[in-house]
Amino acid sequence: MIRYYCTKDREELIELMQLNIPHYFALSELEDFITYLDKNVEDYFVVEDSAKIIACGGINYFPDQRQARFSWDVVHPDQHGKGIGKKLARHRMDHIRQKTGIDLAVVRTSQMAYGFYQKMGFELKKIEKNYWEEGFDLYLMTQEVNKKPLSKK
């Protein structure tokens, strides 16, 4: 089940993030994630299974640029490859499509996850080496909001 994040989820999400360090996130990003949860959440969702949070991901909006940015996508390592991330990404794209004035969805990810977003229809626009931390490159990707979604297969 996908639902909105609430503050009671905070500690569970921090634990989920820690499970993904250092393979998907740099240790230095943990404090940024905590700050995001405390101060920068706009639309943030969690995926629950048997009352346990197994994934989370959000959206932040930049209306002056007509953009929405995927924020802090985290999936429990035991759930990778099971379609959870795909379901959450589609949920957020559908959510963005309901907003007026947003033309472009943006993902800022790393070399560890860019292939996932590429399969979801995002196009690679830029790579910046060691952006997040040594060994964690920025992969800037975009997708037009009006673009027909990929099949549900």
26 token code pair = 């740099």
**pLDDT 10s per residue in the chain (153 long)?**
999 999 999 999 999 999 999 999 999 999 999 999 999 999 999 999 999 999 999 999 999 999 999 999 999 999 999 999 999 999 999 999 998 899 999 999 999 999 999 999 999 999 999 998 899 999 999 999 986 655 454
153 occurs within a structural domain: no
d(CA 66, CA 76): 31
CATH of the domain at 49: 3.40.630.30
The model's pTM is: 0.90
40 occurs within a structural domain: yes
> pLDDT tens digit string along 33-46?
999 999 999 999 99
Helix, strand, or coil here: 118?
Answer: helix
96 occurs within a structural domain: yes
150 occurs within a structural domain: no
How many structural domains does the chain have?
A: 1
77 occurs within a structural domain: yes
151 occurs within a structural domain: no
Is the alpha carbon torsion for 116, 118, 119, 120 positive or negative?
positive
85-122 burial: b if 16+ Cβ within 10 Å, else e: bbebbbebbeebeeeeebebbbbebbeebbebbeebbb
149 occurs within a structural domain: no
Q: Whole domain around residue 130: which residue ranges?
A: 2-144
